[in-house]
Structure 1
Amino acid sequence: MAGTARIQTAPGPGVTASGAPQPVTLAQALPVWARIAALSFGGPAGQIAVMHRVLVEERRWISENRFLHALNFCTLLPGPEAQQLATYVGWLMHGTRGGLVAGGLFVLPGVVAIMGLSWVYALYGNVGLVAGLFFGLKAAVLAIVLQAVIRIGKRALRGPVMVGLAAVAFVAIFFFDVPFPLIVLAAGVIGYLGGRAGLPQFKAGGHGAGGRVVEGPFLLDDHELPQERAAAGHTLRMLLVWGAIWLVPVAAILIAFGPSDVFAQVAVFFSKMAMVTFGGAYAVLSYVAQQAVDHYGWLKPGEMLDGLGMAETTPGPLIMVTQFVGFLAAYRAPGALPPLVAGTLGGLLTTWVTFAPCFLWIFVGAPYVERLRGNWALGGALSAITAAVVGVILNLAVWFALHTVFAETRPFAAGPIRFDVPVPSSLNPWALALAAAAVLAVFRLKVGMVWTLAGCAAAGVALHLAGLV
């Protein structure tokens, strides 16, 4: 089709010279999932872009349409969509074991990094060198997020209708503060009606102007069936097993320590959050901060932003900031335990109840979503939702840019219009210079993600040592 660019990637490991993918065992997939996890910086946009580059373009394990179909479903779920996408693709390739490996590895680097930084924070406070490191990393992350928005947008916004949906979603959430679930619902209804009417603009996997398609063949093409199909017995088994993995520890803590204990409070609060975190971490961070600071008294004002800085500049989902919250909550109310031991257990408990439900949603729902891949109406709804999510991710990129380059923002309100405006006098010239250098490195010089992150981190530390930040 005119206007559609097809890119043929060079054969990589697991791909023959003729371009045909070779079968991949779980052991062979393990280092690839570990690599994706180690490069999962930049929030969901950056993480999804990394997965697309590795899984679709380099390895050709999964087709473009199959990847976007999985992404469409994951955006509907509560919790971090990038981690759930990794779980979904791992499940497609190797069943439940593959989903556990892919989803578990995706979280592991963030668990280790946030825990280590939480120890440093608790023992030494916001150490200057660490602050300088974060300062540099934020500039690099900004460039990576911008690159990811463009890459994901090119693949998901296939045609003017999808571009329009993304634009409306951005305006709605940025300027009018429309709740994310309402945006998803509206986009889904529009896409469902368009798909049911047979409009080609809403066809899942359709290619419009400006799209880029990676040529196959793929290990999992558009017709390959998953290992585990939708069945009542499978669904019940997954519900019982993963419901128990998630909730039995919560019930045991409540029975053993009572509802007023800090571990019980952490377990119950973040279990509830796991069911309502639609729209990713930013959609619920203000509520988490309000409850953690004002209601429970776990954190002091401003500490939530320090935790967000850790999560933004370490591998893994942004929702990993909750581990920092759980760590400080238990660290400051350790009971009979040493504070660092209590904090470590509190952080790990928070991570457990945050991510155990993610596996439940995928292992129960993915077989049914796979069975409905040929349904035009559902496909149209999911494609429209993905387009709207691109607009929401752009909103997060703008939000992140404002808070990286400017130290202060002030709210602006005029009727239903509400958004944050940067305070010009709070512009940080070093942050702007580092962000510009990172953008130049990523977009013009084509420097890789790891080198960009390392260079900006080193620059941040150097600026701190020179007393400039």
Structure 2
Amino acid sequence: MTPQYTLWQMVAYMLRLGTLGFGGPVALVGYMQRDLVEERGWISAADYKEGLALAQLAPGPLAAQLGIYLGYVHYRILGATLAGLAFVLPSFVMVVALGWAYVRFGGISWMQAVFYGVGAAVTGIIAMSAKKLTVKTLGRDKLLWAVYLTLAAVTIATESEVAWLLIAGGVLVWLLRAPPGWARRGTLGAVSIAELPLAASLAGSADPSLLAQIGVFFAKAGTFVFGSGLAIVPFLYGGVVTEHHWLNEKQFVDAVAVAMITPGPVVITVGFIGYLIAGFGGATVAALATFIPCYLFTILPAPYFKRYGKLPGVVAFVDGITAAAVGAITGSVVVLAKRSITDLPSVLLAAVTVALLWRYKKLQEPVIIAAAAAVGLILYPLTHA
């Protein structure tokens, strides 16, 4: 079937969406359905649904992967590459500019005041996102709840995301719900799961140059982000703050806030973090290392997804790993709250954020962020005199 649009029209659309697309991953995929399927008719409903299913299945930020897949539908590898770059590039430029301003003017009180307000609001936003994801993902499924609660507890206790447990959650649900033949015979399964922690520890044992370390760490981050871009938050915290000590806790909360106030994928916070660690080179390496895995996880299985995407084993693995990722997000709310909610005004800011998002379902997050920044400008000088 001949496409009803040119490749450059698709690239221009993704560039515009990456520049103006506020609201987080759910809003972004909704814009794509409205604009590309319903209004313009560029993408069929069937192709859109397959792309969304693949984006939910594979590791990587949901909206970015869907954009890559939609570029692939009619223009294959070139379309996927250009659509993905167009979607991510605007927000990358923005976070690098904010990173420069943060480093250059970070000691100025107005910037500290802005992040004082925004940090509390971001905690409230992530809390509501975790609630929505929990309700949507788990239902009344006791097995998924067990995986979810385990990951939430581990994330709170360790103040980091234990990456191999995400995979273990998927494997556990797969083996219990749709076991392959070898698992029914009781072979290999226990060995494979037991070796996951060892493999994870070996993968993190190298000590190359700083940029190489950044590349390796953020490649692992890109590999273990399932569904919402917020899933990367606990993983990044564990590596950037706890393990490598590249940033302090305040800088990390500020980095999450920067991702919230910019359009495009939330996971682009890696560009800001990379800039704080090692300047523009660090930002570039962090962004490329994070997005290349999700790009590959989209284009490589795309030709085969129609055939295998609905197999019971694949569905069960996705259910398990999604429950684990949502549990880690929920745990990260507690971890971040301990850092960003430090006094009564910040408690009230977070509570008001939750109340507004609960009451007004269509309220855009950037509006809350802007209001929180204004409140921070007023309150910070009064509370930190």
TM-score w.r.t. the length of structure 2 is 0.70
Matched residue type, 1:369: F
| Residue of structure 1 equivalent to 2:113 | 132
Contact map agreement 2:26 2:63 (CA 8 A) in 1: no
**CA distance in structure 2 between the partners assigned to 1:353 and 1:386 by the alignment:** 22
| Residue of structure 1 equivalent to 2:378 | 462
| CA distances 1:396-448 after superposition (whole Å, capped 9, x unpaired) | 3343344332x3xxxxxxxxxxxxxxxxxxxx211122222222322213433
Q: Identity percentage over the alignment?
A: 25
Deviation at 1:34, TM superposition (A): 4.5
**CA distance in structure 2 between the partners assigned to 1:140 and 1:113 by the alignment:** 20
**CA distance in structure 2 between the partners assigned to 1:171 and 1:300 by the alignment:** 27
Most deviating of 84-93 and 438-447 = 84-93
Contact map agreement 1:170 1:395 (CA 8 A) in 2: no
**CA distance in structure 2 between the partners assigned to 1:96 and 1:305 by the alignment:** 36
1:360 aligns with 2:296: yes
Shift of the 180–456 alpha-carbon distance from structure 1 to 2, 3 Å rule, reads: same
Contact map agreement 2:170 2:317 (CA 8 A) in 1: yes
**CA distance in structure 1 between the partners assigned to 2:108 and 2:244 by the alignment:** 23
Q: Which structure has the bigger radius of gyration?
A: 1
Question: Of residues 288, 300, 310 in structure 2, which corresponds to 1:374?
Answer: 310
After TM superposition, list the pairs within 5 Å mapping 1:35-434 onto structure 2.
Answer: 36-38=17-19, 47-56=24-33, 62=45, 66=50, 69-74=53-58, 77=59, 80=61, 82-92=63-73, 94-157=75-138, 159-161=139-141, 164-177=142-155, 179-191=162-174, 193-195=176-178, 265-277=209-221, 278-279=224-225, 280-289=232-241, 292-293=244-245, 303-304=251-252, 306-311=254-259, 313-316=261-264, 320-330=268-278, 343-405=279-341, 407=342, 428-434=343-349
Deviation at 1:265, TM superposition (A): 2.4
Contact map agreement 2:105 2:111 (CA 8 A) in 1: no
Matched residue SS, 1:276: helix
**CA distance in structure 1 between the partners assigned to 2:247 and 2:154 by the alignment:** 30
Matched residue type, 2:349: L
| Residue of structure 2 equivalent to 1:438 | 353
| Residue of structure 2 equivalent to 1:253 | none
Contact map agreement 2:177 2:316 (CA 8 A) in 1: yes
Shift of the 306–151 alpha-carbon distance from structure 1 to 2, 3 Å rule, reads: closer
Shift of the 140–103 alpha-carbon distance from structure 1 to 2, 3 Å rule, reads: farther
Q: Which has the higher contact order (CA 8 A, sep 6+)?
A: 2
Matched residue SS, 2:107: coil
Matched residue type, 1:451: V
**CA distance in structure 2 between the partners assigned to 1:451 and 1:275 by the alignment:** 32
Matched residue type, 1:104: L
Contact map agreement 2:118 2:376 (CA 8 A) in 1: yes
| Residue of structure 2 equivalent to 1:421 | none
Shift of the 186–442 alpha-carbon distance from structure 1 to 2, 3 Å rule, reads: closer
**CA distance in structure 2 between the partners assigned to 1:34 and 1:400 by the alignment:** 32
**CA distance in structure 2 between the partners assigned to 1:401 and 1:39 by the alignment:** 29
| Residue of structure 1 equivalent to 2:192 | none
* Pairs aligned (count): 336
**CA distance in structure 2 between the partners assigned to 1:91 and 1:359 by the alignment:** 11
**CA distance in structure 2 between the partners assigned to 1:52 and 1:319 by the alignment:** 15
**CA distance in structure 2 between the partners assigned to 1:270 and 1:87 by the alignment:** 24
**CA distance in structure 1 between the partners assigned to 2:346 and 2:269 by the alignment:** 23
Matched residue type, 1:268: A
**CA distance in structure 2 between the partners assigned to 1:402 and 1:196 by the alignment:** 40
1:448 aligns with 2:364: yes
Shift of the 452–128 alpha-carbon distance from structure 1 to 2, 3 Å rule, reads: same
Contact map agreement 1:270 1:354 (CA 8 A) in 2: no
| CA distances 1:102-125 after superposition (whole Å, capped 9, x unpaired) | 432443243223222222233233
Deviation at 1:466, TM superposition (A): 5.0
**CA distance in structure 1 between the partners assigned to 2:78 and 2:146 by the alignment:** 40
Contact map agreement 1:141 1:313 (CA 8 A) in 2: no
**CA distance in structure 2 between the partners assigned to 1:321 and 1:33 by the alignment:** 19
Contact map agreement 1:311 1:320 (CA 8 A) in 2: yes
Shift of the 171–429 alpha-carbon distance from structure 1 to 2, 3 Å rule, reads: same
TM-score w.r.t. the length of structure 1 is 0.59
Deviation at 1:291, TM superposition (A): 6.0
Shift of the 429–36 alpha-carbon distance from structure 1 to 2, 3 Å rule, reads: farther
Alignment gaps of 5+ in structure 2: 156-160, 181-206, 226-231
Matched residue type, 2:209: Q
Alignment gaps of 5+ in structure 1: 1-21, 198-259, 331-342, 408-427
Matched residue SS, 2:300: helix
| Residue of structure 2 equivalent to 1:338 | none
